[in-house]
Structure 1
Amino acid sequence: MASKRIPNDRLRALLAEAEWTSASFARAVNRAGREIGLALSYDRTSVAHWLAGSRPRRPVPQLVAEVLSRRLGRTITAVVAGFPHDGGERAGQAAPHSRAGAIANLAELTSTDADAVHSRPLQQSPYLAAPKAVPRWREVSRMAGAGTRPAGPRAGQTEVATLKAAVQTFAKGLDRHGGGHARSALSAFLADDVVPWLNRPANAQVHQQLLTEAARLAFVRARLYSDSGFHGAAQLFYAAALRLANEAGDRSTWAVILRGMSSQSLALKHLRAALSHAENAYAALPAKTSPASRSFVAAQLAVARAVAGRRRDALSALEEAGRSWEENGSAAGPFGAYPRAALEFQRAQTLRGLGDVRGAIEALSVSSEHRRPDDRRGHALTHAARTKLLLRSGHVEEACGSWRAFLETGSGLQSTSTDRAGAALRREFLPYRSYATVGALLAKQRRN
């Protein structure tokens, strides 16, 4: 005999407290699914089944818990939401303020990521919108150097140099090919090489350098996941990178990583988290940080403040970003130098947030002019942003030229970000399909 379902009174009470209809609740769960690459289509009927006692498959209980947490302003777990068999922590996640060491956390996360069987649940980890989900500076215990290290060869400058090269290689791969490129290779390298190197005997300076470079590589791994649409998994790697930078005592790297989390939050329209991360990243910058890092962090702070409606503060941060960039003036990325193209893109986002559409279009044009030829992803996203603003300003033919450039530079990229930008542009152009140029470009996009 089939077991009788038990009504989910916990979920019913939470929905009543949240003042959500079943339809609104289902839409919120669907939106949270999109943040981790899931195309969900739940409706009020689905919610009725959950309330009657049916249990959706993982990761839906975790998504339910997250959207209720956002709505109610406190932490709701899957167990509290009435799903007792689906209440575990996210795969590979140490609690934000746990006393687990940074290396142990990275080892758990990367072993899951590199395992073909278990990586899928990791990718379906929900994105946590609350800023408190982020480890704070110096709240992680310094356990990386504690205990007895296993016997074996000592780590030295060879391993440090290899890690530095890997950071550059995988970061450039993201720019050239998109976040879907070489993900498994980076996962294997982190699990099979980086974690063992961090656990080898080493002098204090070498160990600190290894921690810093491992933090930077985990940051790159997070960006690959984010560009692929798996924002919960990206958040886990960002948090792991913060812990490693903390263990290394590297405030500049820590601030740059948190700045990346702000950008992710903003892309997902979690504006409060985006501003909180940006402000905390800026506050964490040491006085002697590099001009590149200061420009990188201040530029994101400008964007977050602009979206929050803080015009004067946004322009002040943007001015500082530009001033710091002038002191640096090179183009090797956030851990070395900050490219002009990236700064102008942030300037455009800031100006757009402040309502200066013309200024944003001009900044995007400058950004495109200064992009490296091999930064195909950056070119594509810049063209997409410029196309959208031109079209909404009524410059249809000019927008078509920018759209054509997007289609050319974005062709073949393994990037969910550019795929979604392309789909959004198609929707924007559909009302203009009677234009000959627009019709031809719509046909070209279908062929691509």
Structure 2
Amino acid sequence: MASERVPNDRLRALLAEAAWTSAAFARAVNSAGAEIGRALSYDRTSVAHWLAGARPRHPVPDLVAEVLSRKLGRSITAAVAGFPDGSARRAGLIGPRGRAGAVARLAELTSTDADPVYRLPLQQSPYLAADHGKPRWRESAARRTGSGVRTAGPPAGRAEVASLRTAVRVFATGLDLHGGGHADAALAAFLADDLVPWLNRPAKEKVRRELLTEAAHLVFVRARIHSDSGFHGAAQLFYVAALRLADEADDVCTWAVILRAMSSQALALNHRQKAVRYGENAYAALPARCPPATRAFVAAQLAVARAAVGRGRDALEVLKDADRAAGESRATGDPFQVYPRAALEFQRAQTLRGLGDVKGAIEALSASSRHRHPDDRRGHALTHAVRTKLSLRTGHVEEACGSWREFLATGAGLQSSSVDAARSELRHEFIPYRSNATVGALLSEQREG
């Protein structure tokens, strides 16, 4: 005989505490699902079933926990919300430190990422906007806790460091040229099968720090790939893993770069205050010895985040700092020590857009396109996408059509969820203008394609 459902009194109590109607709660869950690429359509009837004892499928219990955490301002797990045995692990996201060392945590994460069975639940992990972490750089003596490394096998040396540097360049270039879906499984396997074993081998202190820094760089690239694929919860896990590695390496410059990327991710998901907090902490941590390109990279994102929350004067001030630092930077083959002019102009455009200067934003986007390297196809496509939206919203329909054609040309064949989403959004935005002959022709081409 089938067991009777037990009413979920825990969830009912949490909803009452949050002063949420069932319909509003369902909308919040659907919105959190969209952050990780899941199109959900729950309504108040669905919530009524959950309250009666029904258990939704993974990853919904974790999404329920996350939206309740955001609303109530404290950490709620799936079990606390009345859904025991939740599959997503929330531990380790509060900050760059914890009981387990950076390498031990990385080993667990990369083994999951490389396993075909467990990888899907990882990709469906919710983005945690409600964590209470405020990562800040501290002096080494107070910060470092040991990496938890099992030293075994022959010593790691310069050959492993060089291999990691090459891998960083190859996979970062592949992301720009082909999109996040390119060589995705290859990087997952490399991290689990090569990187982690190298980090678990004995090494001289200087070599160990270099290995940890390059490992942080490569894990950072893995996070960007997950983000470009729409797996923002998984990306967040890898960003935090990279942050911990940089912390172990005592590399504040790399640490600031990673936290800056976490600010960008938070802002893309419309968690503005979190984006500002991360951006401020990354900027505050920058020492004088960091390369000028690093300072420009971090400062430019802080300008965007400040503009997004209406801090116009502060945004323009830090954007000037980004300009100064970019002017002092020199070309190098290391992707972590160069900040292309095209990227700076794109951030300038986003800052000006946030401040309501649409004309200035369009001009900056045009400058960004002019300076883009031909191999940065993903960057080209996303720049054209933003320029198209702004031109269309200011009534310059023909100009928007030209940018749209550029977007379609540069984005063709890219394995990028970000580009796919932009393609869908642009098509939707052009529909009200379909009576325009040029727009109608482009829409028709898209239908036939």
State the Cα deviation string for residues 279-337 of structure 1 (Å, max 9, x = none): 01101111211100000000000000001111110000100001100001537575121
CA distance in 2, matches of 1:48, 1:133: 33
CA distance in 1, matches of 2:89, 2:134: 15
> Contact 1:238 / 1:257 at 8 angstroms: preserved in 2?
yes
CA distance in 1, matches of 2:23, 2:268: 25
Alignment of 1:44-443 (within 5 A): 44-86=44-86, 89-90=89-90, 96=95, 97-130=97-130, 132-133=132-133, 135-138=135-138, 141-144=144-147, 149-150=151-152, 152-330=153-331, 335-443=336-444
> Contact 1:59 / 1:121 at 8 angstroms: preserved in 2?
yes
AA aligned to 2:106 is L
CA distance in 2, matches of 1:27, 1:16: 16
TM-score (ref. length: structure 1): 0.96
CA distance in 2, matches of 1:216, 1:43: 42
Secondary structure in 2 aligned to 1:314?
helix
Alpha-carbon deviation of 1:175? 0.3
Alpha-carbon deviation of 1:19? 1.6
> Contact 1:107 / 1:191 at 8 angstroms: preserved in 2?
yes
> Contact 1:371 / 1:378 at 8 angstroms: preserved in 2?
yes
The range that moved more, 135-144 or 342-351, is: 135-144
| Pair 87,123 (structure 1): closer, same or farther in 2 beyond 3 Å | closer
CA distance in 1, matches of 2:75, 2:100: 21
Match of 2:5 in 1: 5
CA distance in 2, matches of 1:207, 1:224: 26
Alpha-carbon deviation of 1:444? 2.3
Alpha-carbon deviation of 1:220? 0.3
> Contact 1:329 / 1:338 at 8 angstroms: preserved in 2?
no
State the Cα deviation string for residues 247-272 of structure 1 (Å, max 9, x = none): 00000000000000010011100111
| Pair 342,331 (structure 1): closer, same or farther in 2 beyond 3 Å | farther
AA aligned to 1:260 is A
Stretches of structure 1 that go unaligned for 5 or more consecutive residues are none
Alpha-carbon deviation of 1:14? 1.1
> Contact 1:131 / 1:273 at 8 angstroms: preserved in 2?
no
| Pair 236,133 (structure 1): closer, same or farther in 2 beyond 3 Å | farther
CA distance in 2, matches of 1:343, 1:242: 23
| Pair 124,133 (structure 1): closer, same or farther in 2 beyond 3 Å | farther
Stretches of structure 2 that go unaligned for 5 or more consecutive residues are none
Alpha-carbon deviation of 1:232? 0.2
CA distance in 1, matches of 2:143, 2:33: 30
Secondary structure in 1 aligned to 2:336?
coil
> Contact 1:36 / 1:231 at 8 angstroms: preserved in 2?
yes
TM-score (ref. length: structure 2): 0.96
CA distance in 2, matches of 1:200, 1:123: 29
The range that moved more, 244-253 or 34-43, is: 34-43
CA distance in 2, matches of 1:292, 1:392: 33
Alpha-carbon deviation of 1:134? 6.2
Identity of aligned residues (%): 70
CA distance in 1, matches of 2:387, 2:331: 24
Secondary structure in 2 aligned to 1:362?
helix
AA aligned to 1:276 is R
Alpha-carbon deviation of 1:187? 0.5
> Contact 2:94 / 2:131 at 8 angstroms: preserved in 1?
no
Alpha-carbon deviation of 1:57? 1.4
> Contact 1:7 / 1:52 at 8 angstroms: preserved in 2?
yes
Runs of 4+ in structure 1 deviating by more than 4 angstroms, as ranges, are 92-95, 133-136, 138-141, 331-334
> Contact 1:275 / 1:304 at 8 angstroms: preserved in 2?
yes
> Contact 1:101 / 1:140 at 8 angstroms: preserved in 2?
no
Alpha-carbon deviation of 1:85? 2.8
Alpha-carbon deviation of 1:447? 3.9
Alpha-carbon deviation of 1:136? 4.3
Q: Considering only aligned residues, what root-mean-square deviation do their CA atoms show, in Å? A: 1.6
AA aligned to 1:435 is N
| Pair 332,347 (structure 1): closer, same or farther in 2 beyond 3 Å | farther
State the Cα deviation string for residues 406-439 of structure 1 (Å, max 9, x = none): 0000011111111111111111100011111101
Match of 1:18 in 2: 18
| Pair 88,366 (structure 1): closer, same or farther in 2 beyond 3 Å | closer
CA distance in 2, matches of 1:421, 1:62: 27
Q: Across the two proteins, how many residue pairs are aligned to each other?
A: 445
State the Cα deviation string for residues 57-79 of structure 1 (Å, max 9, x = none): 12111100000111111111111
State the Cα deviation string for residues 153-208 of structure 1 (Å, max 9, x = none): 22111111110011111001000011111111000000000111111111111110
AA aligned to 1:41 is S
> Contact 1:135 / 1:242 at 8 angstroms: preserved in 2?
no
Secondary structure in 2 aligned to 1:418?
helix
CA distance in 2, matches of 1:437, 1:369: 25
Secondary structure in 1 aligned to 2:254?
helix
| Pair 276,264 (structure 1): closer, same or farther in 2 beyond 3 Å | same
Alpha-carbon deviation of 1:445? 2.4
| Pair 133,231 (structure 1): closer, same or farther in 2 beyond 3 Å | farther
| Pair 147,195 (structure 1): closer, same or farther in 2 beyond 3 Å | closer
CA distance in 2, matches of 1:229, 1:148: 34
Alpha-carbon deviation of 1:352? 0.3
